[in-house]
Amino acid sequence: MEGQEPTHEWLNLPALLNRQRAASAANPRPSAAERRARLSRLETMLRANQAAFAQAISDDYGNRAIPETILAEVASTLAASAHARRHLARWMRPERRSVAMTSRPARNTVEYTPIGVVGVVAPWNFPVFLTLGPLVEILAAGNRCMIKPSELTPRTTALLGRLLGETFPSEEVAVVQGDAEVARAFCALPFDHLLFTGSTGVGRQVMRAAADHLVPVTLELGGKSPVIVAADYDLTKAANSIALGKFFNAGQVCVSPDYALVPKGEAVSFARAVLAAAERMFPTLDNNPDYTTIISDRHDARLHALLVEAEAAGARVLRHGAQPGGNQPGGSNMRRFAPTVVLDPPADCRLMQEEIFGPILPVIGVESLDEAIARVNTRPRPLALYIYSNDSSTQRRIMDNTLSGGVTINGTMLHVNQVDLPFGGIGPSGMGAYHGREGFLRFSHARGVHKPGFISGFDILKPPYGRRTRLILRALTGFGWPKHLR
């Protein structure tokens, strides 16, 4: 199979969409065997090229720890695809539903049918998992897919375009390469569904563009995902766990712990324990292949500006003991932002207003669990919530009094990689959930089918309406018929 030519000009996009629509119309309901075959081809491609993907992502970042790529990008995608293949026949099976009393005897079923062509706008932070992960469920649901990866990861995007082009014909899966102008044109296409993963601000623009064609959207956004450390939980154990999640991919994760609420008298000890854990994981920062760099100079400058503002406002800033040296453009230590903890930053500073998306952890001391819950609830609903407590009643109390996209208890980010759990935000952190069966349902149309039996209850109630009609309706609703209506 020949590789696809990269699509650089937005004028090509409607023609590409039309080709996929025509292919979908020619085979509107691919069999389970066809869908499994597509997923198997995807898995084979990913397994054979995982080293190439790891290198391309690392080159795009400046440095990305290879184990982080294999774990978060490759293993997660393979697990999702294997899960979908294993359960696909059951997901596709029509579901029996109950029949209304007035319609019996009859049969009701729900069939999950493909919706057609799905557009995917993928971000730069996990350019394989957040591209191929949705593709798994889109293919499992029997659809075609057009993908617009991020222009901030050009090597990975080019590799995705070439390998997916060698794996699928363009009428099944197509990669569109280009800049922000191409992305805007992509989002304005009349897809049957559009999935966007990225910032809340851009998500609003995507939704506005999709609205012109009434395109249903799934938005996976972000926000400030809080950590609540209850008084009963071992502080050092919590710090070790939170440091692992916070500094994974240098904090460039949509579900990264964004700030920590800890018992007030323990805030300083906790902050130091977090940094001690970071220093054990990353004894040095210079030339350390295990420590991921910030994706671009612009993102790096923004993180530095957040710290400068917080420190000027009186916050206490604690940094990793081994500061990167030689942080020169083009050098091997370019954009190595040191793990940092900020104690009690003001609530109105940008560090506490914006999603951080970097290796900075604000730590805030609270007097009580009620205060921690109140602080979470004064903010927009987050994509993730992390609870550290061994007491089930405390865990339940926090979950019952807060709202978030997902939750991990006594850990961070782990709920995202569970192949049988839905993933998605709520409010400004997102719209719609996918992964596993929920992903299959997200990219399917639930079509209700009613088949009357040998006699239809509706026929019995047809005009002329008389005494029998009144008796049946009285039995159904209790409606008493006034004499002047009889």
Burial 233-259 (b: 16+ CB within 10 A, else e): bebeebbbbbbbbbbbbbbbbbbbbbb
Q: Find the helix or strand (DSSP H, E) in which 222 lies.
A: none
Q: Has 220 been annotated as catalytic?
A: yes
Q: How far apart are CA 11 and CA 156, in angstroms?
A: 23
Q: Which of 254, 309, 311, 355 is catalytic?
A: 254
Q: How far apart are CA 409 and CA 207, in angstroms?
A: 32
Alpha helices, DSSP H, located in 1-94: 13-26, 32-48, 50-61, 66-69, 76-92
Q: Find the helix or strand (DSSP H, E) in which 246 lies.
A: helix 235-246
- Residue 444 pairs in a beta bridge with 114
CB 444 within 8 A of CB 138: no
Sequence-distant contacts of 445-449: CB under 8 A, at least 24 apart = 445/112, 445/113, 445/114, 445/115, 446/110, 446/111, 446/112, 447/110, 447/111, 447/112, 447/113, 448/97, 448/108, 448/109, 448/110, 449/94, 449/108, 449/109, 449/110, 449/111
Q: Has 254 been annotated as catalytic?
A: yes
**Taking each helix axis from N to C terminus, what angle separates 180-187 and 200-211, rounded to the nearest 10 degrees?**
50
Q: Find the helix or strand (DSSP H, E) in which 180 lies.
A: helix 180-187
Q: Which residue's structure tokens are 């809080």? A: 226
Q: Exposed, middle or buried, 286 (CB in 10 Å: 0-12/13-18/19+)?
A: middle
Q: Which of 220, 311, 354, 355 is catalytic?
A: 220
Nearest in space to 242 (alpha carbons), one of 341, 375, 381, 353:
341
Q: How far apart are CA 422 and CA 408, in angstroms?
A: 13
**Taking each helix axis from N to C terminus, what angle separates 76-92 and 129-140, rounded to the nearest 10 degrees?**
10
Residues recognised as catalytic: 220, 254
